[in-house]
């Protein structure tokens, strides 16, 4: 049996990793604590969809991981006209505009647009969620 290799995802300055709801009618982008990336299940804080954590991986994260696999962990920084090998795909995790804490599970998560309805870890409802920072969720939806 082949050994499974884990490629760590990048974190933002708050130590969080981006996730995207796999529900095609939702697709909400939110952040979870880096320690929670390898969980069994995750819950979309907006639509409430519960699914395997891996299904919440974003397209830029998948491109980054595939690039690392393709380059066998040794990525060229730039692409030259003489090389047939493409450079690594990279991505940056920007900090979330709003960070919430859940008083049911004591974990934090971030979101940029839309008020959360529940906790992505324990599914606690809105009344258990508290803004960690003053945030303005003005979105064009």
The answer to whether residues 56 and 20 touch, using CB atoms and an 8 Å cutoff, is yes
**For residue 64, how many other CB atoms are within 10 A of its CB?**
20
Using DSSP bridges, classify how beta strands 41-43 and 129-131 pair: parallel, antiparallel or unpaired. unpaired
Token reading at 2: 């082949």
Instruction: Please say if the pLDDT value at position 26 is more than 80.
Output: yes
The residues, ordered by sequence, that sit 6+ positions from 30 with a Cβ below 8 Å of its Cβ are: 18, 19, 20, 21, 44, 45, 46, 96, 109, 110, 111, 112, 116, 120
**Residue 68's pLDDT band (cuts 50, 70, 90):** confident
Q: What is the pLDDT of residues 75-117, one digit of tens each?
A: 655 555 555 556 677 788 888 889 999 999 999 999 987 889 9
* % of the chain exceeding 70 in pLDDT: 79
Query: pTM, whole model, 2 decimals?
Result: 0.80
- Which pLDDT score, from 0 to 100, does residue 137 have? 61
């Amino acid at each position: 049996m082949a050994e499974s290799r884990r490629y760590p995802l990048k974190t933002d300055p708050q130590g969080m990793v981006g996730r995207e709801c796999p529900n095609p009618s939702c697709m909400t982008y939110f952040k979870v604590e880096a320690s929670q990336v390898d969980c069994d299940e995750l819950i979309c804080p907006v639509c409430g969809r519960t699914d395997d954590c891996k299904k919440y991986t974003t397209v830029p994260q998948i491109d980054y991981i595939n690039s690392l696999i393709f380059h066998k962990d040794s990525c060229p920084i730039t692409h030259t006209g003489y090389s047939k090998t493409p450079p690594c795909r990279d991505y940056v995790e920007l900090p979330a505009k709003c960070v919430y804490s859940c008083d049911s599970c004591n974990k934090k998560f971030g979101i940029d647009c839309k008020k959360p309805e529940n906790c992505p870890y324990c599914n606690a409802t809105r009344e258990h969620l508290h803004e960690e920072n003053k945030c303005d969720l003005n979105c064009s939806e």
